[in-house]
Amino acid sequence: MNFRSAKESTIDIGKVLVVANSREAAEDIVLTHLDLPRSSTSCEVERVKPSIFTVMRGEVRKDQPINGTFPRSQAQLDRLCEDEREPYAVQITGTAWAHSSDNAIRKIGKAAVAKIEGRDVPGRAVTAINLTADQVEREVKSSSFEKNSIFTGMKMFQGGTVSPR
């Protein structure tokens, strides 16, 4: 919903997302919540289509404990689904006309996102862009015992055998 409220010397303008049963209910919620006067506020309510959006979704194996609770974020859900994901090495190369290296990276990043989403690359600043993703082998994680131990086995030093204490 867009709103515009005229005050003495300013105009309050904004856009708000509201979940309501009707246009009138949406206007009432916004006017009450933002403390805007009904007489000097104009509202433009739009219905958002589709009326359903996926906030987070994933599949977790049944044998994996989730302690009877729902994950609170997509990152938490991703950690639960981690076994199903595979590691990839991603390389993005491109040529960009820019004033600085940071500006060039930003332009190539925006162009990469546009290409991934199937949109036309915006502007003429990025002349060539190439995206590659190659699957890499998973790293074998060492156990916490191996990480924390000083000696992983018997070692021979000059003067005799030394063993862990």
pLDDT band with cut points at 50, 70 and 90 for residue 134: very high
**b/e map of 43-80 (b: 16 or more CB within 10 Å)?**
bebeeeeeeeeeeeeeeeeeeeeeeeeebeeeeebeeb
Can you tell me the mean pLDDT for 122-146?
79
pLDDT band with cut points at 50, 70 and 90 for residue 28: very high
Domain ranges of the chain: 2-44, 88-135
d(CA 13, CA 1): 11
Residue type for position 131: L
Please check the confidence at residue 157 and state whether its pLDDT lies above 60: no
pLDDT band with cut points at 50, 70 and 90 for residue 99: very high
Chain mean pLDDT for the chain: 79
The whole-model pTM stands at 0.39
